[in-house]
Amino acid sequence: MVKLKDKSTEQKILDAAKHVFVTKGMSGARMQDIADAAGINKALLHYYFRSKEKLFETIFSEALEKLFPKLASILESDKTIFEKIEMICVEYVNQIQQMPYLPVFIISEVNRQPEAFLKKMTGNRKPPLKAFVTTIEIAVKRKEIKPVQPLQLLMNIISLNIFPFMVKPLLQYVGGVSKKQFDALMEERKKLVPQIIIQSIKK
């Protein structure tokens, strides 16, 4: 008789793996570490996930399925450039607050195996940047914003949103920032970051 996989055990493994991957990185994490964190034996872990790589892919795919479609829908919407900037910043912070391990995963893996990772991340589908570029071009023609290189603008949006999550341990250690204070800071940045970016490009 084939043993059925239990969803609660599978979720327990995924939650434990997220914690281990964040604290030890993909290369430093061991299946035994994940089994210990999940409170199960290694044999049971292998029954649910054959390898560390398969487990990582499951977690990463789950995260991307939540984040990227929402960002893509914003980029492709008929909103103004200012509205898109505001919505992207809010959505990004909302999602990363739920998945704080995501930026660490991306930076770690994109440096370790850039080509393979980016193909896995995008599924060979490029983000819908054309719509974003068109929105920028329209705003420039209407003299609503200064001429701006689309990739520079996108890098500003991404970096200003991702950086606090990357240096969270440093902020907590050096600045004495508690989890509650960090969450409050991120709530403030949902309004602050769009303001900074919009002011930098507004006519």
**What is the distance in angstroms between the CA of the first residue and the CA of the last residue of the chain?**
70
Banded model confidence at residue 23, pLDDT cuts 50, 70, 90: confident
pLDDT in tens, 65-80: 777 788 888 999 999 9
CA-nearest of 141, 151, 134, 136 to 201 is: 136
For residues 133-162, average pLDDT? 93
pTM assigned to the model? 0.74
Whether residue 171 is found in the same domain as residue 73:
yes
Is 7 in the same domain as 73? no
Residues 6+ away with beta carbon under 8 Å from 67: 92, 95, 96, 99, 102
CATH number of domain containing 21:
1.10.10.60
Residue 47, pLDDT above cutoff 80: yes
So what's the pLDDT on residue 124? 59
- In total, how many domains does the chain have? 2
For residues 21 and 92, state if they share a domain: no
Considering the domain architecture, whether residues 25 and 96 belong to the same structural domain is answered as: no
Q: pLDDT tens digits for 89-111? A: 999 898 888 777 677 777 777 77
Tokens encoding 115: 């080509």
Q: Do 94 and 165 fall into the same domain?
A: yes
pLDDT above 70 covers a percentage of the chain that reads 90
Residue bearing tokens 């910043």: 89
For residue 149, the domain's CATH number is 1.10.357.10
Give the pLDDT of residue 168.
85
Domain membership flag for residue 55: no
The parent domain of residue 22 ranges over 1-50
Mean pLDDT of the chain: 85
Angle (CA) 95-154-195 rounded to 5° is 75
pLDDT at 122: 60
Same domain, 39 and 78: no
What's the confidence (pLDDT) of residue 96? 84
Q: Is residue 181 part of a domain?
A: yes
